[in-house]
Amino acid sequence: MLKLMAYRCVVFLPSAALPLDILDWSTLIDCSGWELRMQKTSKSSLILLYRALFLSTVLALVAILTYFALPDRKVRILPGFGHESHLFFDGEKGGLTTANWVNQPAFHFTCTATTPVTETPYCGLSINFHKFENGIDYSNFQHIELKIRYHGNNHRLRLKLHNFKPAHTNGDTQETLQGLEVSILASDANKLLVIDNRGWGNFSQGSTVDIGIDLVPPIAPGTHELQLEYVEIHGKRFKAESWYLGVALLWLLSNLFFITRHLMQQEKRIRNDSQRLSTLALYSNDLQQESQHYKLLSNTDPLTGALNRNGFATDMGQRSPAGKMESNTTLMIIDIDHFKRINDSYGHDAGDVVLRETAKIIHNNTRAADRFVRWGGEEFVLYCENTNPQQALLIAEKIRLSIESANILYNSAAIPMTVSVGIGVALASEDFDHLFKRTDQALYKAKNMGRNCIVLSDTNDK
């Protein structure tokens, strides 16, 4: 038996030696394993898609939470940025408070207040950035970190910031400056100071162009030493909304990629499966034709084209499963007279010609519902339903006369030929074997009567 592997679908082509009368076409192609593989592949593909979507969602959540773990961005604006620094004190306007640099690049200075103190004393440091447009936008930063060193007996110090908003300018820059003041205890001055930027509201949306530090009145008499060591602004490296939007876009794009890839794979799989099914359909059609051909060969006589015993048995099994004949079912056994003499006189090839011509004549004188069988050797059987004895005799006589008058030639030599016919008409519920036996006895009588004649079986024959 030859096996063809067709896309996981096993196709069996039977050999000619296989008895195809018992062949069931449904066993020729076994695609159950292939269909199961298709189902498993589709299911596994969906599982992979669900896993990818789940993983992308988990990663997106992790990325959102990672925002809070990102290290802060630190920018030290003093010292470092381009600036100008100067001291301001009321002694410049006739007051009694004076200021002097100890180390200007280090923002280290002293303020000296004498008694009596004026009504509005002031003394401090102002640091101006070179241009308003180059100021520091710290709206994206969460807090300011600075360190001030102070030695003196004043109660409080003050940190000042001035902002410039170009959108609000009217040409007079002084009118566009907005101020913010933060008062701190002098006892906290030598500690690290952290000022939360988020509470300043719209003030932080501009550009800081001025940072100052001074003594909060009333100024205690004596010498006050101050130094602004550094100013840093701290904030996240990315805006929260930008980070979340980026994570959402990446999550969406990755999911679209996974879904699109899955759909493309499914489309490719469908195309491949369609091609496989088309191929299998071609195999199926070819195999059906082969099966019909082999069934025909197994059920027919190759020389005469008539049914053989196997084909007749299959047909009878479908017509009479119980093996019982209905009344008016006629069986004829037709035997070629002196067929051995023909073989001996003209040769076996001539005998084959005689068999073919005889079968052709009998077939031409039968009805569509009749079954014509080569029983063996020179013996033929004609099975006729709904045929009474008179009709059977007319059919048999027509066949006998046609064969007797036939001009059968072999190598330009005419071969005379006759047949003897036995007829049996079934009784109600008679089984086939009994009917065949009675018909065979009628044929035996015809031969004993000199051949080339017809004998109808007596229903009393056993």
pLDDT tens readout for residues 33-80: 545 555 666 778 888 888 989 999 999 999 989 888 888 888 887 887
In the numeric block, which tokens belong to residue 408? 């059968």
Whether pLDDT at 133 is above 50: no
Task: Tell me the C-alpha distance between 36 and 47, whole Å.
Answer: 16
Pairing status of strand 108-113 against strand 430-431:
unpaired
Burial of 51 per CB tally in 10 Å (0-12, 13-18, 19+): exposed
447, part of any domain: yes
The pLDDT value recorded for residue 356 is 95
Angle CA 38–44–45, to nearest 5:
90
Same domain, 43 and 86: no
Same domain, 354 and 429: yes
The pLDDT value recorded for residue 6 is 37
Catalytic residue among 241, 290, 357, 378: 378
CATH of the domain at 220: 2.60.120.430
The pLDDT value recorded for residue 117 is 58
Same domain, 203 and 168: yes
Whether pLDDT at 289 is above 70: yes
pLDDT tens, position by position, 384-395 = 999 999 999 999
Q: Which of 88-102, 288-302, 436-450 has the lowest mean pLDDT?
A: 288-302
Residue 22: pLDDT band by 50, 70, 90 thresholds?
very low
pLDDT tens, position by position, 217-244 = 888 999 999 999 998 888 888 888 888 9
Helix (H) or strand (E) run with residue 60 in it? helix 32-66
What's the mean pLDDT in 185-191? 87
Instruction: Name the average pLDDT for the chain.
Output: 82
Please enumerate in sequence order all residues whose Cβ is within 8 A of that of 243, keeping only pairs 6 or more positions apart, or say none: 64, 67, 236
In the numeric block, which tokens belong to residue 233? 């602004």
Name which residue leads in pLDDT, 448 or 285.
448
Q: Is the Cα torsion angle 288, 291, 292, 293 positive or negative in sign?
A: positive
Residue 249: pLDDT band by 50, 70, 90 thresholds?
very high
36, part of any domain: yes
Same domain, 100 and 56: no
Name which residue leads in pLDDT, 127 or 130.
127
The pLDDT value recorded for residue 130 is 59
Instruction: Note every long-range contact of 282-287, with CB atoms under 8 Å and residues 24 or more positions apart, other chains counting.
Output: 283/4, 283/6, 283/11, 283/29, 284/28, 284/29, 287/11, 287/13, 287/28, 287/29
Does residue 222 contact residue 154 with C-beta atoms inside 8 Å? Answer: no
Range of the structural domain that residue 41 is part of: 2-63+243-299
Q: Which of 13-17, 144-148, 163-167, 372-376 has the lowest mean pLDDT?
A: 13-17
Same domain, 294 and 328: no
Highest mean pLDDT among 189-193, 211-215, 261-265, 443-447: 443-447
Same domain, 173 and 156: yes
What's the mean pLDDT in 259-287? 86
68, part of any domain: no
462, part of any domain: no
Only one residue has tokens 């940190």, namely 159
Same domain, 172 and 195: yes
Residue 378 annotated among the catalytic residues of the structure: yes
- The residue out of 299, 324, 342 marking a domain boundary is 299
Does residue 316 contact residue 325 with C-beta atoms inside 8 Å? Answer: no
Same domain, 19 and 111: no
Same domain, 82 and 230: yes
Please enumerate in sequence order all residues whose Cβ is within 8 A of that of 393, keeping only pairs 6 or more positions apart, or say none: 423, 454, 456
Same domain, 167 and 281: no
pLDDT tens, position by position, 94-124 = 888 999 999 999 999 999 998 765 578 899 9
69, part of any domain: no
- The residue out of 236, 258, 288 marking a domain boundary is 236
- Say what the pTM is: 0.45
Does residue 390 contact residue 423 with C-beta atoms inside 8 Å? Answer: no
Same domain, 94 and 182: yes
164, part of any domain: yes
70, part of any domain: no
CATH of the domain at 379: 3.30.70.270
- The residue out of 181, 216, 236 marking a domain boundary is 236
Please enumerate in sequence order all residues whose Cβ is within 8 A of that of 152, keeping only pairs 6 or more positions apart, or say none: 111, 186, 215, 220, 222, 223, 224, 225, 226
Q: Which of 173-182, 277-286, 405-414 has the lowest mean pLDDT?
A: 173-182
What's the mean pLDDT in 207-218? 83
What's the mean pLDDT in 433-455? 95
The pLDDT value recorded for residue 4 is 36
Number of separate domains in the chain: 3
Residue 294: pLDDT band by 50, 70, 90 thresholds?
confident
Task: Tell me the C-alpha distance between 67 and 237, whole Å.
Answer: 9
Same domain, 86 and 227: yes
370, part of any domain: yes
